[in-house]
Amino acid sequence: MTIFENLQNRLFGAARILALVGFSGLLILAILTSLDVAFRWGFAYPIHGVNDVSSVVMAVVIAACIPANLVNKQSISVEVLGSLAGQRGRLAIVVFASFCTMVFIGLMAWQFVPYAADLLETGQRTWVLAWKVWPWWFFACGCIIFAAVVQAVVLLTDIGSAIRGSSLPPKKNKKQTL
């Protein structure tokens, strides 16, 4: 195993663990929301602060799942042009798409950093629970920066495949991913 493959395996494993953290947060948020609805309906007594929790946790949940999405290439793709262009053309299109994705994720990270810094500077808090907002957004910011690193590795992998002319691994169908 090369140093690059070792790095790739570690980054991709960390991306999957981060996604598990994100989905755990989503599960907790779903449980809280369900309890809030049940308490409102059954007892006319809402759980105060669920909206606050939702507002900060959702940013983390989404950002934590992005790296794993990039690793697994689970984004929307249109493959008509690639099928018409042949193997080399298809590989070139994949490299171009990976590059565009890396630029986009990089731009997101570039905008998340000053936003999180502004939240720290202004000391913004949630409305009901008065939680500081900046730690949640700094975590989301770290996830997006990590996603940019992961996408850079995906891009390098795609470039290597294109140079070798090797075919990309087939996409899994829904039965295989369950």
Q: Is the pLDDT of residue 172 over 60?
A: no
* pTM (two decimals): 0.87
CA quadruple 94, 95, 99, 100: dihedral sign? negative
Boundaries of domain holding 40: 3-73+82-167
- Is residue 60 assigned to a domain? yes
Better-scored residue on pLDDT, 107 or 82: 107
Place of tokens 């996604």: 19
23-35: string of b/e by CB count within 10 Å (b at 16+)? eebbeebeebeee
Name the domain count of the chain: 1
Q: Is the pLDDT of residue 171 over 80?
A: no
Residue 64, number of CB atoms within 10 A of its CB: 27
In a domain, 175, yes or no: no
22 near 61, Cβ under 8 Å? yes
| Range name among 1-15, 84-98, 129-143, 157-171 with the lowest pLDDT average | 157-171
Specify burial of residue 1 (Cβ count, 10 A radius: 0-12, 13-18, 19+).
exposed
Q: How far is CA 46 from CA 28, 29, 100, 130, in A?
A: 17, 15, 45, 18
